[in-house]
Amino acid sequence: MMSKVSIANDALKVIKRVHDITGGVPQVVLLTGWQFEGHDSKYPSWTCVNKHLKREQDETALDSLRWLIREARQYNCLGNRSRGIQADSVTF
């Protein structure tokens, strides 16, 4: 049986790996697709965190996103304030 995948857990594993490989050099991580079901699924609203970020032990996906931000800090990750957002669009 396959275990449930958590993007938050997977993202932290990558952050740890980069930290270890670089000897702790500051890193910036851009987490894209964090809202709704990912890129542009309900654009332009940013009020709902993607349910695939949710860890089993957290009540909501937002809790998991907050956990990832807190945990990433200990690995010199500066991207904990950056999330990919398309704030405008052009229609012709």
The pLDDT of residue 51 is 85
Q: Is the pLDDT of residue 1 over 50?
A: no
Domain spans, the chain = 1-26
Contacts of 78 (CB under 8 A, 6+ apart): 26, 27, 28
pTM summary value: 0.74
The pLDDT of residue 44 is 64
Q: Is the pLDDT of residue 84 over 70?
A: no
CB 34 within 8 A of CB 65: yes
HSE-CB of 8 using CA atoms within 13 angstroms = 25
Mean predicted lDDT score pLDDT of the chain? 78
Confidence of residue 36 (pLDDT cuts 50, 70, 90): confident
Rounded to whole angstroms, the Cα distance separating 90 from 80 reads 28
pLDDT (tens digit, 9 = 90+) per residue, 6-34? Answer: 688 888 999 999 999 999 999 988 777 77
